[in-house]
Structure 1
């Protein structure tokens, strides 16, 4: 074997231990870093699993505290007099264990003026007997005849919070009245009421 090759092999044998000794701490640091990162990934995965479980538990607890409900209905063919009267309504049953209710109701009434003279139509939403603001519109222009069968529609809304509930039911209604002259029963007369309720313990 040529002398140069032998010298090179000898040099390598002498250098390799020194190189390995120099690299050993670096390799150790890399191995430790990999082990730490692997442990951190396991910890992060565990934390994510725990967080997912906590979110599910919280959602279940919220579901136990809150119970949403909604309903709507319509009616037609009724007459409207000067005395306020409900023309459509929905009834809600209070779930067992719930003591409060957040309620929003809205409705619309369409009416034909059959009185032969102009008049006002008043509409309001009534929640468990408590009235919201009354909206008004004129059915038939005061300055224009004839007034008979002039048709108008008007909407109203109301919100309320009921407390101290313990079972039972309550209603959400749309009520209407005229300003004096009655509007007779008509297929044109119609009403719609919709309500959303959130029951709370």
Structure 2
């Protein structure tokens, strides 16, 4: 069974902990790297070219880790804009959370993912994450934002968090693919002129 970390589950590193860690205990910043035996392989004279350029990520580096953060950003909607289809923004009616995904590197040194919300009780303190890529893919970004959301909220029980984490991430990725394909379809339909 997978275990979903929460902000209040912090345990000290094994060298500093005076209580023995059990098999179900979660320890932040534990070493997950495994040693891989070296492979004896000779390089070929002809370079191999990839036909699929989407698989090539020029921003990744196996030896370097990049730090990025997730944080809540509060938004405010004026009262006369909370009626009708804008009911989603009314903080007394429901709490809204919008994930901002980054598809290009920002001008700043650190990448920051934001979760926009109308819930003023959510802490805006950022949580740092490590990545081997300067620009993480959307699945990784959504996973870290969901982790941040689930670790800071107090309404959804942990069993439901564990049960629906992958489903929610999958549905968000499907929605993202739908929006991107709709944008591409609309862009290409405006670029094509029909003549008869």
Calculate the TM-score normalised by the size of structure 1. Answer: 0.21
Pair member with larger Rg: 1
TM-score, normalisation: structure 2: 0.22
RCO (CA 8 Å, sep 6+): is it higher in 1 or 2?
A: 1
